[in-house]
Amino acid sequence: MVKQQPFKWRHFEAEIILVCVRWYLRYALSYRDLEELMLERGLHVDHTTIYRWVQRYAPELEKRCRPHLKETTDSWRVDETYVKVKKVWMYLYRAVDSQGNTLEFLLSPRRDAETAKSFFYKALYVSASPTPPVCLIEGKPTQSTAPVGLDPTIQTPRVINADKHAAYPKAIADLKTVGILPQQVELRQAKYLNNLIERDHRFIKRLTKPGMGFFSFETASRTLQGYEIMNMVRKGQMHNVKKGDIRSQVIFIAKLFGVAS
């Protein structure tokens, strides 16, 4: 577990900050809802303060959880859902395995072959390297958090199930050409095969509804990192943390941040 204490110089105690961040990322609450919940407990925490906490610690939560992920299967379900950013609908690429475990996610303003390639590339590689590859952010090439090195928890796909969008065959063919995907990887484009991930999108819709969208791409990206990794904890994708065992999930997150639960 990570022992470094990231809450130094904060006005509120670490336990309070972590509870607010965890509740916001786990339940369908607005920042004002959380402000009222804290007020019920005798704590005056402004909703904008909670917003800043989520922006600071949601990416940190993902970073600290990643090393504890269990291995996934080699059958992928890939699809996009929609997230409103600055009153504009953007695409959230997501992938789960045959057991419903989340593999990866990527927010993009575009839905094309280049974005699909960036998403598959991100899904195949871990997120801690000194030489990150290029990825699309707001439609522009930038440095991704994914390094040159396969993620040991994610198996190279044997089969990729997707809808009939034309971007997927081109993206997969290009990745096979450069050797990122093996030639034997099979792409199956049949809508009914993706029922699993389409059901999995519902948690994103449920969580984003109270906030009625995001006000910037960066805000959306950071918050979605927290939503996705918290959902992975909820699914039981971390070692020694079972699905449905809320107490062990709370203790796991507290220990990640060096906070007594």
Q: Is residue 175 very low, low, confident or very high in pLDDT (cuts 50, 70, 90)?
A: very high
Whole-angstrom Cα distance, residue 248 to residue 149? Answer: 31
189 φ/ψ angles, rounded to the nearest 5 degrees: -110, 90
Query: Domain limits of the chain?
Result: 14-68+222-256, 75-200
The pLDDT score that the predictor gives to residue 209 is: 87
Lowest mean pLDDT: which of 105-109, 138-142, 219-223? 138-142
Nearest to 175 by CA among 218, 132, 244, 122: 122
Lowest-pLDDT range of 37-46, 122-131, 191-200: 122-131
254: phi then psi, degrees, rounded to nearest 5? -60, -45
* Cα–Cα separations (whole angstroms), residue 84 to 57, 108, 130, 229: 22, 11, 32, 20
Q: List, for residues 121-166, the tens digit of each pLDDT value.
A: 999 985 333 333 334 444 444 434 334 456 667 778 999 999 999 9
Q: What is the CATH number assigned to the segment(s) 75-200? A: 3.30.420
Yes or no: say if 88 and 255 are a contact pair by the CB < 8 Å rule. Answer: no
Top-confidence residue, 91 or 7: 91
Residues 6+ apart with CB under 8 A from 26: 230, 234
Tokens of 26: 């786990």
Q: What is the mean pLDDT of residues 172-188?
A: 94
Q: Which of 74, 90, 71 is nearest to 82 (CA)?
A: 90
| DSSP reduced 3-state for 93 | strand
Q: Residue 129 has what pLDDT?
A: 34
User: What spatial distance separates the first Cα and last Cα of the chain, rounded to whole Å?
Assistant: 14
